[in-house]
Amino acid sequence: MTHPLLIIGAGLAGWQTVREFRKLDADTPITLVTADAGDFYAKPTLSNAFGQKRGPAQLVTTPAATIAQTLNVTLLPHTRVTAIDSAARTVQTSAGVLAYRDLVLATGAQAIRVPLAGDAAEQALSVNSLDDFGVFHQRLTALGEGVRVAVMGAGLIGCEFANDLAGAGYAVTVIDPADRPLAALLPPTASVQLQEALTGLSVQWHLGATVQAVNRQADALALTLSNGHTLVADILLSAIGLRADTSLALAAGIACERGIVVDRQLQTSAAHVWALGDSAQYASAASPGAPTGRTLPYVMPIMSAAKVLAASLHGTAASLEFAAMPVAIKTPALPIVAHPPAPGQLGQWVEQALGEWWFASADLPERAHGFVLTGPHTSKRMALVKQMTATATVAAT
Ligand SMILES: Cc1cc2nc3c(=O)[nH]c(=O)nc-3n(C[C@H](O)[C@H](O)[C@H](O)COP(=O)(O)OP(=O)(O)OC[C@H]3O[C@@H](n4cnc5c(N)ncnc54)[C@H](O)[C@@H]3O)c2cc1C
């Protein structure tokens, strides 16, 4: 009997792999096991849903049963995989043991939690799934008008939520140890532009500070900050980053670093076991500062990786090469497109105009190794991607 292609995870990585594989092969049995309901939704919509008055149900674009039927998949929802035996080619799940022909790990990432002191520390919420969003949405809407939301983290997800919630009328305060928002991604003057734009929506800031303790204060939360302030909020959203979920792979002895290590065909260190998405560390994204590869927790890398993985699973030779993939940051108060330089790339941010920054090296100042565009300058995105692609091609020849 032929065992199925077994996929763990019903996020974009899992479903997109199925879509791509079905273009090549309509018949091979596929089983998709997932801890959640399996409904298809676009995760990026979680951080701009309040502005569009959409709740969790409205974010589902294709219900699980429909997508499973369309793609001819046996779906096991609400089923958790607890162990992999790559020698026996089986997985242990909460519904029993399953055998596989090939196994795809599309288990995503986990929200990073920092230990907080106080009697309400467990009240900090993270939003990294539709279910998380359901809890967050329900708590916020139950509290009604004028809710005070403290957002821990001024990175991409923290800033997007700050914009969305402030735009929807919530009183938002952002806390971050850096002295400016999106410090890891933007040059300082771009951060200033973003901070001003969000301040224009009444967002308040505690920068250069961390949350140390969360305690109950009547019906609210009192946050003790490292800068000596106490901030009172109704909800605390923790958006301090994600970490690839490598737990199953690690326990099975599969090589992991910052993510599950995969080669250019998306194969892990174990035969017949593959990985992609937020859980993977791609050799195709290696650079001088990350010689063994990088995690790329964004949509576009998944779209490219799923195509190559489907070919690998089909037995067709394919190799993953990432194109330049800028990220559009969903802060409508100041639209931003960012393409960070690869880790280890030498150079510095050079302001071409207020709203356009290139990461350029001293030997090639007329070429961008990365860029940030804000406001009306975001229209230059394609031109800069073309320029970077041309540079990469020249560098490779
Ligand atoms: C709020 C937010 C906004 C974002 N905005 C953008 C954006 O604008 N642009 C962009 O490019 N990217 C954005 N991203 C990132 C992007 O959404 C992710 O890179 C992508 O959705 C990850 O998909 P995934 O399938 O790898 O992981 P997930 O979507 O996390 O899927 C993981 C799946 O694995 C399942 N699973 C995990 N462990 C097990 C187990 N042991 N057993 C069974 N099932 C298991 C889970 O239930 C889930 O179904 C955003 C992310 C967030 C959180």
- The CATH number for 296's domain is 3.50.50.60
Q: Is residue 321 part of a domain?
A: no
Q: Is residue 320 part of a domain?
A: no
Which residue shows structure tokens 């790559």?
A: 86
Q: Which of 331, 336, 307 is nearest to 319 (CA)?
A: 307
Cα of 43 vs centre of ligand 1, distance in Å, is 7
Q: Is residue 322 part of a domain?
A: no
- Buried b or exposed e, range 300-335, using 16+ CB within 10 angstroms: ebbebbbbbbbbbbeeeeeebeeebebbebbbebbb
Final residue in a domain of this structure, among 277, 293, 314: 314
Pick the residue whose CA is nearest to atom 16 on ligand 1.
298
Cα of 242 vs centre of ligand 1, distance in Å, is 10
Residue 106 and residue 117 in one domain = no
Please give the structure tokens belonging to residue 221: 């939360």
Mutate to test the pocket of ligand 1, among 67, 151, 260, 299 (most ligand atoms within 8 A of CB): 299
Q: Which residues line ligand 1 (CB under 6 A)?
A: 8-14, 33-36, 43-44, 46-47, 80-81, 106-108, 127-128, 157, 245, 248, 277-278, 297-300, 302, 327, 330
Residue 44 and residue 73 in one domain = yes
Please give the structure tokens belonging to residue 92: 């242990």
Q: Which of 257, 267, 252 is nearest to 295 (CA)?
A: 257
Residue 387 and residue 273 in one domain = no
Pick the residue whose CA is nearest to atom 18 on ligand 1.
298
Residue 221 and residue 287 in one domain = no
Residue 175 and residue 234 in one domain = yes
Q: Is residue 125 part of a domain?
A: yes
Residue 230 and residue 119 in one domain = yes
Residue 201 and residue 249 in one domain = no
Q: Residue 1: its pLDDT value, please?
A: 65
Q: Which of 229, 226, 281 is nearest to 255 (CA)?
A: 281
* Domains contained in the chain, number: 3
Residue 83 and residue 31 in one domain = yes
Final residue in a domain of this structure, among 191, 209, 240: 240
Q: Is residue 52 part of a domain?
A: yes
Q: What is the CA radius of gyration of the chain?
A: 22
Domain coverage including residue 380: 327-396
Residue 262 and residue 146 in one domain = no
Angle at the Cα of 130 (from 127 to 133), degrees rounded to 5?
45
Q: Is residue 276 part of a domain?
A: yes
Final residue in a domain of this structure, among 213, 240, 267: 240
Q: Is residue 204 part of a domain?
A: yes
Cα of 213 vs centre of ligand 1, distance in Å, is 29
Residue 248 and residue 105 in one domain = yes
Q: Residue 391: its pLDDT value, please?
A: 57
Q: Is residue 251 part of a domain?
A: yes
Residue 236 and residue 269 in one domain = no
Cα of 156 vs centre of ligand 1, distance in Å, is 15
Q: Residue 393: its pLDDT value, please?
A: 47
Read off the pTM.
0.96
Side-chain-side CA neighbours of 390 within 13 Å: the count stands at 9
What is the distance of C-alpha 139 from the center of its chain?
23
Pick the residue whose CA is nearest to atom 46 on ligand 1.
9
Is there a contact between 86 and 249 (Cβ–Cβ < 8 Å)? no
Residue 171 and residue 134 in one domain = yes
CATH at residue 384 = 3.30.390.120
Task: From first to last of the 397 residues of the chain, give the pLDDT tens digit.
Answer: 689 999 999 999 999 999 999 999 999 999 999 999 999 999 999 999 999 999 999 999 999 999 999 999 999 999 999 999 999 999 999 999 999 999 999 999 999 999 999 999 999 999 999 999 999 999 999 998 789 999 999 999 999 999 999 999 999 999 999 999 999 999 999 999 999 999 999 999 999 999 999 999 999 999 999 999 999 999 999 999 999 999 999 999 999 999 999 999 999 999 999 999 999 999 999 999 999 999 999 999 999 999 999 999 999 989 999 998 999 999 999 999 999 999 999 999 999 999 999 999 988 888 899 999 999 999 999 999 998 877 554 444 3
